[in-house]
Amino acid sequence: MTTTQVVNPATEQVVTTLELVSAAETDAAIERAQRAGADWRAVAPGDRARLLRRFAEAVDANLEQLAQLEVANAGHTIGNARWEAGNVRDVLHFAAGIPERLLGNQIPVAGGVDITFHEPLGVVGVIVPWNFPMPIAAWGFGPALAAGNTVVLKPAELTPLTAIRLGELALEAGVPEGVFQVLPGKGSVVGRRFVTHPAVRKVVFTGSTEVGKEIMAGCARQVKRVTLELGGKSANIVFADADLERAAATAPYGVFDNAGQDCCARSRILVQRSVFDRFLELLEPAVRGVRVGDPSAESTEMGPLISAAHRARVASFVEPSTKVAFTGTQPDGPGFWYPPTVVLPDAPSDRVLTEEVFGPVVAVVPFEDEADAVRIANDTEYGLSGSIWTNNVGRALRVSRGVEAGNLSVNSHSSVRYWTPFGGFKQSGLGRELGPDAALAFTETKNVFIAT
């Protein structure tokens, strides 16, 4: 029996010890999910909707407990953790609207009737990273269940606690046994089986681009469907005509939220050269003012990194030769802390500009004009999100169309709403989650012609 210790990253204390699921147990769970699928897809749309609504209500009734679990397991600030549990509830309520609205087409044809159906795929495997354990899980299992699939879900080994609780809440809400199973275990064991087991018809993966490529290649052997949400190196583009005070005051939260462990982190701030110095002057107090510390305190804005190993990786981006403009604060004592850090790269090839740091390190770079801003923003393998700060509506729209990224915000840093589509261009991913079409990613379109 392999076990894992779940560690609180703010205190380095062991929260609990868990047994990890083996390959044989994974196979058994996948086969249970396959058997449960026959009944689940036959549940009347209104009844499936009602079960998802009850699941949402169970999440809401346990929102504070889920949030506290995430604070202890992932070091998320309590404010963020409450939002994340609320997001699971909202995704489930939105998903509850799907079964009765999974509309097909009736297409005019000669000699008969032609109709389309959105058939469930079967068993869906969801592989979740440690950075947003609750929302990322729900973006997969909510619409997948709504469309009539059964789900096996693997949380990250570092952060399994909220997913395990969500699995219990589904059962308490009346979701039948085998329909939604949470399997804490290793990526190389449980995650790998999702890719290789032929009964799993789709893999939804969020995590590193490196592992995502491996998963895509593995799935290719069975032409298995995949949705991939991978890394990012998003740009926050600040034009001279923007409200500079607001752009500077909000920029830290666009990158340091969740300690920068966010695929949407705006980890490159591009500033028009004419206001570059002024922007840095305004940014400094904003960065120093980020409240870093005990994530369970209501006023805390940034907690620790997830692990000692991850902190070492983040720290490796700030080399002795790196020009550090200024840093924020970090508490003393135990915990995997790293301060908000602003760096001024020497060259476009600097690692801190080309690789995803996944920590509270942001690079600030000047640009000349609109075309230069778009060119720099697109000078990356990634294309997940980004922000554009300007008071010129035409420019906001031109630049929004020019930046190769899936999720942009103008004069804001918001990326995610459960009712709008989310996903990446280029090596940031494949497919979309959330939004009006969320369920279609978990169905096959079937066309039926009936001769009359």
Task: Tell me which residues touch ligand NAP (CB under 6 A).
Answer: 127-131, 154, 156-157, 186-188, 191-192, 206-208, 211, 214-215, 229-231, 263, 356, 358
Tell me which H or E stretch contains 424.
none
Rounded Cα gap, residues 337 and 327, in angstroms: 13
Rounded Cα gap, residues 185 and 412, in angstroms: 37
Measured CA angle at 266 (ends 264, 269), to 5 deg = 165
Rounded Cα gap, residues 315 and 231, in angstroms: 18
Instruction: Kindly state the smallest distance separating residue 18's Cβ from ligand NAP, in Å.
Output: 12
Nearer to ligand NAP, 1 or 393 (CB): 1
Sign for the pseudo-dihedral over CA of 244, 324, 378, 136: negative
Which of 82, 80, 68 lies closest to 161 in space, CA to CA? 68
Instruction: Kindly state the smallest distance separating residue 284's Cβ from ligand NAP, in Å.
Output: 27
Rounded Cα gap, residues 402 and 375, in angstroms: 9
Nearer to ligand NAP, 157 or 294 (CB): 157
CB 199 within 8 A of CB 416: no
Nearer to ligand NAP, 195 or 403 (CB): 195
Residue 195 phi, psi (nearest 5): -75, -40
Catalytic-residue membership of 229: yes
Nearer to ligand NAP, 275 or 343 (CB): 343
Nearer to ligand NAP, 263 or 270 (CB): 263
Residue 53: other Cβ atoms inside 10 A: 16
Nearer to ligand NAP, 141 or 358 (CB): 358
Nearer to ligand NAP, 128 or 302 (CB): 128
Rounded Cα gap, residues 339 and 160, in angstroms: 26
Nearer to ligand NAP, 184 or 339 (CB): 184
Could you tell me which residues come within 8 angstroms of residue 221 by beta carbon, excluding any fewer than 6 positions away? Answer: none
- Give the active site residue among 84, 263, 264, 356: 263
Catalytic-residue membership of 356: no
Instruction: Kindly state the smallest distance separating residue 422's Cβ from ligand NAP, in Å.
Output: 11
- Give the active site residue among 70, 84, 157, 229: 229
Rounded Cα gap, residues 121 and 446, in angstroms: 11
Rounded Cα gap, residues 317 and 338, in angstroms: 12
Rounded Cα gap, residues 41 and 430, in angstroms: 26
What is the SS3 string spanning 349-404?
Answer: CCHHHHCCCCCCEEEEEEECCHHHHHHHHCCCCCCCEEEEECCCHHHHHHHHHHCC
- Output DSSP code: residue 374: H
Instruction: Kindly state the smallest distance separating residue 398's Cβ from ligand NAP, in Å.
Output: 28
Instruction: Kindly state the smallest distance separating residue 318's Cβ from ligand NAP, in Å.
Output: 15
**Residue 211, both tokens:** 């592992």
Residue 261: other Cβ atoms inside 10 A: 25
Nearer to ligand NAP, 187 or 304 (CB): 187
Instruction: Kindly state the smallest distance separating residue 185's Cβ from ligand NAP, in Å.
Output: 7
Residue 97 phi, psi (nearest 5): -80, -10
Instruction: Kindly state the smallest distance separating residue 218's Cβ from ligand NAP, in Å.
Output: 7
**Residue 386, both tokens:** 């980004």
Instruction: Kindly state the smallest distance separating residue 262's Cβ from ligand NAP, in Å.
Output: 7
Q: What's the Cα-to-Cα distance from 394 to each of 164, 397, 410, 428, rounded to whole Å?
A: 48, 5, 12, 27
Rounded Cα gap, residues 241 and 391, in angstroms: 6
Which of 354, 322, 355, 356 lies closest to 341 in space, CA to CA? 322
Pure H helices in 122-189: 133-146, 161-172
Instruction: Kindly state the smallest distance separating residue 324's Cβ from ligand NAP, in Å.
Output: 21
Q: List active site positions.
A: 229, 263
